[in-house]
Structure 1
């Protein structure tokens, strides 16, 4: 089978949902017999220096003539349109979520990223997205024609049901400590539930945004919750599987998700979920297995968590529904097949 190049900025081994998707996509495409060349771009994206842009141009330009290239959205949306058009090869973009929707940006950064990504996506023969929600957003706000959009939702591996901790119930949140994940909103909600019995583990890289991590630790300490809320930092995949197994309830206060792989991982483990109604989350989660609340609303989040902490029968009902839904989750071979078909079409 013919191959393609996959250009990804930074360290592909980082423990994030986006890089996890990229790693698994490469592995599944190769398993299916497709040759995939990983092109490692510099790590300064989405705000690359002139030197990093030049290095990216050189690495992409060195690919065999005519070879199709899939460019991860973290780089695609920040690469100059002139560079992309000068490649003279079939280009596909993989958009996990629009760059301008990352939390913590100022208005100048947000406007610049939105304009840059709009111009870049106009040059892509195909735009692969990880959820129907993101497809609708790109069509509405970025001018991407529907016939260029391809939805390839992340696959989910079968998982054994979580055994839980039970006493006290353990809450699990998964995501890097960055503003978009809004772990501070979760801490505020848990502070309102301090009279109830619970513990919470926040699993995810704590070195991506030093200031956000300092604020979160200070927030936890100010509420006297240091012995009940643990920040684990980034952990290995086997350790993460153990965290899911020990959890009784999964929670996400995220302000936006292009899909939310940790959410379907929770469903695969048969966990009830409380999450914000933001981005693709309502599309990602089965209604019968979750409780959704408005984003950035600690009181609403506390209300939903408090109800489930007080009503174990309700938790069990949601968990049962999650286990039933898990059987219908798509696998990674399906995801890879969708992407390979899209790249095959643009290479013709």
Structure 2
């Protein structure tokens, strides 16, 4: 079997979707499959003219060179293939839908309608839709006229990782991971922490600030307005070694995300045995262990602040939640397991 992954070319390699695609591609190669990566140029997921042109050019080149190859299209660049539905159907294309863009909470009604229209045109023509969680599968089946047997769940694998040991100091170190975009809810976290001036804590936010510079600037302004400038570090898109050090020395993982199709950062925090203070939108329900987490409604910075106060104040509570998270993380599948499952699905397509 030969496979080509079409991926959004403007996404950083550390983006969860790209990690998902590249990890599955590596696992397919380890199983003896011939795999090619085809980055689609232009802006994604809302495709501009360059993205649409790139999708068509890559598709023509791909089908001319490898007509028997199985195309796998990442869900964030799939919108650039609008208008190619018949070609996708004839080729038996597979879509990797991390979540439906029409469900993004920060979009305008017109933007959601535009994404939803493309989803209705393109997704039902795919031979198979692969999603990262049962929650996303339910969303797809509720929104689109596709048969249930055409939608399969392949959760991301979670690499083996050392257990977080914590800072071991007087200051409680909090870690948040996610691009500086509205959906990630870093503003909720900052407003929650603004209510804890009497406690000793530091927050590091690891995430790309170049995707939405205006929102990144707004977060910086919020830090200044709330008097948190000496307690919050914007670390940017962290290199692997830098991120590993942050994971190792963190005391609490925090997320205010409003919507995730799976929640890879939360899953890794669980795998590493970190206590969580998160919103319900930070990950699919099956990812967040009730016993190892403080969980509040999306956008509710008041309750998140109350939960963080308990965690920052009480080392015994953090230790209890950390152990519960560590035990829950043992059940997460590896990339090798998920690569094998994905290969079987492609063979059946």
2:189 counterpart of 1:176 = no
Gaps of 5+ in 1: none
Matches within 5 A, 1:1-348: 2-11=1-10, 13-63=12-62, 64-80=66-82, 82-87=83-88, 88-165=90-167, 166-278=169-281, 280-346=283-349
Task: Kindly indicate whether the alpha-carbon contact (under 8 Å) linking 2:179 and 2:206 is maintained by their aligned counterparts in 1.
Answer: yes
CA–CA distance in structure 2, aligned partners of residues 328 and 32 of structure 1: 23
Task: Kindly indicate whether the alpha-carbon contact (under 8 Å) linking 2:203 and 2:232 is maintained by their aligned counterparts in 1.
Answer: yes
CA–CA distance in structure 1, aligned partners of residues 289 and 106 of structure 2: 29
CA–CA distance in structure 1, aligned partners of residues 297 and 20 of structure 2: 27
1:279: how far off?
6.9
- Decide whether aligned partners of structure 1 residues 6 and 217 sit closer, same or farther in structure 2, where only a CA change above 3 A counts: same
Gaps of 5+ in 2: none
CA–CA distance in structure 2, aligned partners of residues 43 and 51 of structure 1: 5
Task: Kindly indicate whether the alpha-carbon contact (under 8 Å) linking 1:78 and 1:116 is maintained by their aligned counterparts in 2.
Answer: no
Task: Kindly indicate whether the alpha-carbon contact (under 8 Å) linking 2:42 and 2:50 is maintained by their aligned counterparts in 1.
Answer: no
Q: Which has the larger displacement, 125-134 or 138-147? A: 138-147
**Count of matched residue positions in the alignment of Structure 1 and Structure 2:** 344
Moved over 6 A (4+): none
Helix, strand or coil at the partner of 1:243 = helix
CA–CA distance in structure 1, aligned partners of residues 30 and 95 of structure 2: 22
1:224: how far off?
1.1
1:314: how far off?
1.1
Task: Kindly indicate whether the alpha-carbon contact (under 8 Å) linking 1:12 and 1:23 is maintained by their aligned counterparts in 2.
Answer: no
TM-align CA RMSD: 1.5
Task: Kindly indicate whether the alpha-carbon contact (under 8 Å) linking 1:78 and 1:113 is maintained by their aligned counterparts in 2.
Answer: no
Deviation string, structure 1 residues 249-306 (Cα, Å, up to 9, x no partner): 0011000010111111111111011111127432211221112100011101101111
1:103: how far off?
4.2
TM-score, normalization: structure 2?
0.95
1:52: how far off?
3.1
1:11: how far off?
4.1
- Decide whether aligned partners of structure 1 residues 308 and 83 sit closer, same or farther in structure 2, where only a CA change above 3 A counts: same
1:143: how far off?
2.9
CA–CA distance in structure 2, aligned partners of residues 302 and 266 of structure 1: 20
CA–CA distance in structure 2, aligned partners of residues 114 and 105 of structure 1: 12
CA–CA distance in structure 1, aligned partners of residues 233 and 188 of structure 2: 15
Helix, strand or coil at the partner of 2:218 = helix
Deviation string, structure 1 residues 156-180 (Cα, Å, up to 9, x no partner): 1121111111421101000000000
Helix, strand or coil at the partner of 1:36 = strand
Deviation string, structure 1 residues 78-129 (Cα, Å, up to 9, x no partner): 421x313124311110011111233432211111001101221111110000
1:48: how far off?
2.4
